[in-house]
Structure 1
Amino acid sequence: MTATPPPRDPATPGDPGDVPDEAPQGGLRRGAALMASGTAVSRLLGFLRAMVLAAAIGATGQAADAFSVANKLPNVLYMLLAGGVLNAVLVPQVVRAYKRDGGQEYVDRLLSFGFALLAGVSVVLTLAAPLLVRLYADPCSTTQLALATTFAYWCIPQLFFYGVYALLGQVLNARGSFGPYMWAPVVNNLVSIAGFGVFMAVFGGASADVTWGTPQIAVFAGSATLGVVAQALVLVPALRRAGVGYRWRWGLRGSGLGRAGKVATWTFIGLAIGQLGYVVVSRVASAAPGAACVATSDIAGNAAYDYAFMLFMLPHSLVTVSLATALFTRLSARAHDGDVAGVRADLSTGLRVVGLFTLIAGAGLTVLARPVVRLILVSSSEAAVSAVAGVVVAMAVGLPAFGAWSMCQRVYYAYEDAKGMVPVQAAMAGVVVAGTLLGQAVLPHSAWVAGAGLSMSASYLLGTLMAMRALRRRLGGDVDGAHVLRTHARAGLATVAAAAVGVAVLLVVQVVGPGGVVGALVQCAVVGTVMVLVYVGGLKLLRVRELDQLVGPLVRRLRGRR
C-alpha cells in the first residue's frame, strides 16, 4: 500500500544522455534538490487544491465520499505503476538500454507496448465502472453508490494519462532529465484548481447543497481528469529536449522484454496482494458514515482518509522520494555490477538520512494534526476537522517506518527481485486487513478509519523488519544495522524532546493566540519552528553527523548566495 513516485539518479551535468554508474556527489545533491523543489511546489499547490476541493464538495458527507471512491480508482493504477511495476521493470531496463547500441529501439518497443496496454486497460475498466465502485465502496446509501458510479465514468480514463506520465517520466529520469517529471504535477494542480473554482462560481460550493446532475458532474469530475491529461502532455516537449526521439515500434520478440515480463508478473502479484488490504480499508471507510444507516455528515469516510493520506505523504514526498530517486539508479548499477558493499552503503545512507527527517515530520504531524487539518478544511465544521485529524495522527506514527520500508523496496527493485518482496507484502496486507476489521469490530464507527490508519502504520513497521532481515542475507550478513540503529536512537531522543516542548507551546498558543484559520496558521508556524529548533539542537548535542547530510547542501547554497 505504498504510493511512491519512481526513483532514479542524476546524470553528469551538461549531458542529459549520459547515465553514469556512479553520479558525482554534487550531481546527486543537485538532482535531489531539483526534484525536491518541484515536489515542494507541487505539494504546496496540492494543499491549495485540497482546500478548493473541500470548499467545493466538503471533507465528509455523501458527495465527498462518492467522488473519493471514484477518483481513487485511477489513482490506484498510478500507485501500482509508479510504486512498483515501473520501478521493477523500466528503470533497470532503460538504464542498461542507453548503455548499449540500439538502446533507443528497446525503449521504443517498451513504450509502445506500455501505451497499448494502458489504452486497453483504461477502456475495459471504464466500462467496468459499476463493478469497481461496488468493489471499493460499501455505502448504505444507494444514491451515493449511483453518484460514485457516475463520477467513475469521468475519472477512470485518467488511468491512461497517469500511465503515460509515469512511462515518459521514467525515460526522462533515466536520461538524466529530472525536473519535468517532478514539476509536471504542478500543471495538474493548476488546471484542477481552476476547474473547481469554475464549479463553485457556477453551481456553488459545499455549503450550497448542490444538486448533482450531468452538468455539475461533468464540470467537477472533468476538471480532475483534465488536470491529469495536462500533467502527461507537458512531458512530450521535455522528452524531445532530452534527445529522446520516440518512434512507435511493435513486437516484443528479440527485444529483451522477457526478463522484464517475469519481474512485472511477480511485482503485480505482490501489489495485488497489497490491494486486497486497500480494498478492505476502502470498504470499511465507505461504510463508516452510514454504519447505522442514518445520514451522518461528520464521520470520517473515504474523503477524510484521502485528506489524511495527503498530509501523511507530504513529508515523504518532499524528502524520502527525492533522496530515494537520487540513489536508485546508482543502486541499480551497483547491484548489476555485484558491488555489494556499494549497495549496503547506499542503503545505510538512505535509511539514516531519511530517518532523521521522518522522525521529526511524524512527530510534527502528530502534535499539529488539528491545526494543519484546519488550514486545509477552511470552511468545514469542527467535527469534520476532528474526524480527519484523528486519521492523520494514526498514520503519522507510522511515517518513520514507511520511509524505511520505501528505502528497502529500492534495494529489491535494484536487484529486480519482485518475487522476494511477495512474502513481505503478503504479511503487510494481512496486518492491514486484520487490523482494519478488528477496528471495525471493537471501535465506534467514528474511529473506523483511524483504526485502519493505525493498522497501516503497523504494517510498515512489520514490512521494514522483514525486509531488513531478508536484505541482511542478500548483502553478506550485514546491512550496517548497528550504525542505522544508533542514528535512529539518538534522533528518537531528540524527537521526544521536540514533541514534549511542542505540546507545551501549542497549549500556550491556543490559550493566548487567535482562533479559527488564523489561529491554526499561528500554531503551525510557532510550534513547528520551536519543534525544529529543539530537534536540531538535540541532534547537535547528541552528535548526529547525518544532520549535515540532510541540511548541509542547503546551508552551503544559502551562504554562497550571500
Structure 2
Amino acid sequence: MSRLLRASAIMAAGTMVSRVTGFIRTMVLAYAIGTAFLGDAYNAAYAIPYSILDLLLLGVLSSVVVPMIVRAQQQDPDGGRAYEQRLLTFATIVLIVVAALAVLAAPLLIDLYTDWDRGERKFEVAVRLAQFILPQLAFFGIGAVAGAILNTRDRFAAPMWAPVVNNLVVICVLIAYAIVVTDGSDLNSVSNGELALLGLGTTAGIVAQATVLVIALKRAGFRFVARFDLRNARLGEMARAGVWTIGYVVVTQLGFMLTTNLSSAAGDAVAGHGISPYTLAFQLFQLPYGVVGVSVITAMLPRMSRAVAEGRFAEVRTEFGSGVRLIGAVMVPVSLLLMVLGPAITVPLYGHGANTVANAIYIGNVLQVYGLALVPFAVFQMLLRVFYSFGDTRTPVFVGAGTTAVNAALMVLFYSLLPARYAVMGLALAYAIAYGLGAIAAWMLASRRVGGLGGWQIGMAMTKMYLAALPTAALALASVWAVQEVFGGLGFLNSMIILTVGGGLGMLLYLWIAHRVRIPEVSSVVGMVAGRVRR
C-alpha cells in the first residue's frame, strides 16, 4: 500500500507541475508570437505531429501495447526483454521513416489541416515551421514506448516528469525568441532563422523529453539491442486488439481536421479569431476534466471492471453514480464560472507582449462557450468507461463516430451562418451540443447494458448542485459588471479583482451553500482537502 501511495504521489506531483509549466509555456508563446497570423501558423504546424502520433501510436499505447508488454513479461522465458527490444526497434524504424516522409509532405499536410491558399505568406510560414517541428515525431514516439515500458516496471517518476523538461526547454526558447526578435508577431518580417529558432526549439523540447525517458529506462535495467526478427513482435495480435481504438482515433482526428480548416478560414477573415484562440481556449477547458475527471475515472474503471466480471451490476451502477456526482460537485460550479469569467481568466494569461488584450478577450469568449460543454463532456467520458468495463471497445467507436458527425454538421452550419468574428465561438458551441447529445445516446446504450444507471437519483443530485452554484454565478456576474462600471475595461488588474471576488469568493460561497444543503460529495472533497492541509 505504501508503495502504491508513493507512486500515486509522484504521478500527482508530476502531473500538476507538468500542467503548470504547460500553461506558462502557452502564456510565453502568446507573449512571443501572439494569436494572430503567426500564432495560427505555429499552432497549425504544432498540431500535425500530435495528430499523426494519435493515429499511429498513442491511441493504442495504453489500451493495447502496455497489456501486451505485461503479458510478455509474465509469459516469455526471458521476462519479456526480447519482446520489449523488438517493439522499440520496430517503433524506432517506423517513426523515423514517418518523420522523414512527413517533413517531405509538409506542404500537403498544411493543405489538409488548413484552409489557406498555397503561395500566401501564412501558408509558407506554416510549412517551414512544420518542416522544423515534424522531426519530433520520431523522438516523441520513441519516448512514448520507453515510457510504456517504464510503467510496466512500476517506474512512474520519469514518464510524469519528462514533459516538465520539455516545457522548460520550450519556455527558454520562446523567451529567447521574444528577446531576439523585435516584432515577434509580424508574419511578413519573420526570417527563416527566426522560424528555425521557433520550430527547432519546439523539437528540442521533445528531444529532451525522450532523452530523459531513455536514460530512465536504462537505469531501470533495460538494455537496448536492435532486433529485426519482427515476426515475433506480435504485430498482428496488436493490430487486432487495437483496431477499434484506432477506429475511434481516426474518427476524432477527422473531426479535428475539419475544426482546423474552419478555424483557419475564420482567422484569415479576422486576425486573432482563428486556430490560436480555439487551441488556447480548448486547453483551458480541458484543465478541470484533466485534474478531476481523469483521477475519478482512473480509480473507478478497475472497480467497475471487477464488478462486471463477477456479474454485480448493482455495484456498477453505484460506482458510476458516485463517480458522476463526485465529478459534478466540481464541474458544475466551474462550468458556470467559465461561462461568466472567461475573458477575466484569459486576459491575465494571454493579454501581454505580441498578443493584444482584445485578442485575449476573444479567447475568453470562446472559453465562455466551452463552459457549456464541461459537464456533458465529463459525463460522456464516464459513460465510455461503462463500456470499457465490459471489455467493449466497439460501442464507443460508434458513439464517438456519431458524436463527431453531429459536431461536424453543426460546425459547418454555424460557420456558414455566423459572421467570421464569431465563427470560432460557433465551433465551440457545436462541440458542446454534440457532446450533450452524445452523452444522451451513450447513457441510453449503457443503461440497457447494466439494467439502469440510476438516472433519477443522479439527476436530482446534479440539479441540487446547479441550484447551489447559481449564487456563485450571480456573484461572479455582479463582480464583472461592478468592476467594469467602476474601473472601465478588462485590463490585468481589473481581471484579477474580478477573479478574486467572482472566482475565489464565489467558490467559497458554493462550498458553504453545498455544505448547508448537505451535498455529500462536496463535503467529502472539503474534508479530504482539510485533512491534507492539517497534515
Give runs of aligned pairs for residues 100-111 of structure 1, distance below 5 A: 100=75, 102=77, 104-105=80-81, 106-111=83-88
User: How far is 1:541 from its partner?
Assistant: 2.4
One-letter amino acid of the counterpart of residue 120, structure 1: V
Q: Is the 8 A contact 2:74 2:80 kept in 1?
A: no
Q: Is the 8 A contact 1:54 1:206 kept in 2?
A: no
Within the alignment, does 1:265 sit opposite 2:248 as a pair?
no
Within the alignment, does 1:318 sit opposite 2:291 as a pair?
yes
Question: 1:175–1:415: structure 2 CA closer, same or farther, 3 Å change rule?
Answer: farther
1:94-150 per-residue CA deviation (whole Å, 9 max, x = no partner) reads: 455555565534554444444443333323222211111001111257111111111
1:21-40 per-residue CA deviation (whole Å, 9 max, x = no partner) reads: xxxxxx47x66554343222
Question: 1:67–1:446: structure 2 CA closer, same or farther, 3 Å change rule?
Answer: same
One-letter amino acid of the counterpart of residue 13, structure 1: S
Task: Name structure 2 gaps, 5 residues minimum.
Answer: none
Task: Name structure 1 gaps, 5 residues minimum.
Answer: 1-11, 15-26
Give runs of aligned pairs for residues 326-475 of structure 1, distance below 5 A: 326-328=299-301, 343-379=316-352, 380-474=355-449
- Give the match for residue 487 of structure 1: 461
Within the alignment, does 1:501 sit opposite 2:464 as a pair?
no
Q: Is the 8 A contact 1:270 1:418 kept in 2?
A: no
Question: 1:519–1:350: structure 2 CA closer, same or farther, 3 Å change rule?
Answer: same
Larger RCO (CA under 8 A, 6+ residues apart): 1
1:321-347 per-residue CA deviation (whole Å, 9 max, x = no partner) reads: 233334455656666676656655443
Give runs of aligned pairs for residues 2-401 of structure 1, distance below 5 A: 12-14=1-3, 27=4, 34-60=10-36, 62-80=37-55, 84-94=59-69, 96-97=71-72, 100=75, 102=77, 104-105=80-81, 106-139=83-116, 142-206=120-184, 211-240=189-218, 248-251=226-229, 253=231, 258-291=236-269, 296-298=270-272, 300-328=273-301, 343-379=316-352, 380-401=355-376
Question: 1:107–1:468: structure 2 CA closer, same or farther, 3 Å change rule?
Answer: farther
User: How far is 1:370 from its partner?
Assistant: 0.6
In structure 2, how many angstroms separate the alpha carbons of the residues matched to 1:178 and 1:552? 28
One-letter amino acid of the counterpart of residue 557, structure 1: R
- Give the match for residue 21 of structure 1: none
| Bigger helix fraction | 2
User: How far is 1:249 from its partner?
Assistant: 4.6
Within the alignment, does 1:543 sit opposite 2:518 as a pair?
yes
Secondary structure, aligned partner of 1:397: helix
In structure 1, how many angstroms separate the alpha carbons of the residues matched to 2:84 and 2:93? 14
Secondary structure, aligned partner of 2:267: coil
Aligned residues: 529
Secondary structure, aligned partner of 1:48: helix
Question: 1:109–1:55: structure 2 CA closer, same or farther, 3 Å change rule?
Answer: same
Question: 1:509–1:86: structure 2 CA closer, same or farther, 3 Å change rule?
Answer: same
In structure 2, how many angstroms separate the alpha carbons of the residues matched to 1:280 and 1:537? 44
TM-score, normalized by length of structure 2? 0.89
Q: Is the 8 A contact 1:359 1:492 kept in 2?
A: yes
1:196-229 per-residue CA deviation (whole Å, 9 max, x = no partner) reads: 1111222234367772222111101111111122
One-letter amino acid of the counterpart of residue 479, structure 2: V
In structure 1, how many angstroms separate the alpha carbons of the residues matched to 2:458 and 2:258? 34
1:458-483 per-residue CA deviation (whole Å, 9 max, x = no partner) reads: 22222222223222333x31334444
User: How far is 1:416 from its partner?
Assistant: 4.4
In structure 2, how many angstroms separate the alpha carbons of the residues matched to 1:342 and 1:47? 39
One-letter amino acid of the counterpart of residue 41, structure 1: V
Secondary structure, aligned partner of 1:288: helix
One-letter amino acid of the counterpart of residue 25, structure 2: R
User: How far is 1:497 from its partner?
Assistant: 2.6
One-letter amino acid of the counterpart of residue 540, structure 1: H
In structure 2, how many angstroms separate the alpha carbons of the residues matched to 1:119 and 1:338? 46
User: How far is 1:152 from its partner?
Assistant: 0.6
One-letter amino acid of the counterpart of residue 471, structure 2: A
In structure 1, how many angstroms separate the alpha carbons of the residues matched to 2:524 and 2:97? 45
Secondary structure, aligned partner of 1:290: helix
In structure 2, how many angstroms separate the alpha carbons of the residues matched to 1:252 and 1:327? 37
User: How far is 1:57 from its partner?
Assistant: 0.8
In structure 2, how many angstroms separate the alpha carbons of the residues matched to 1:352 and 1:497? 20
User: How far is 1:159 from its partner?
Assistant: 2.2
Tell me the percent identity: 34
Secondary structure, aligned partner of 1:234: helix
In structure 1, how many angstroms separate the alpha carbons of the residues matched to 2:238 and 2:144? 17
One-letter amino acid of the counterpart of residue 63, structure 1: L
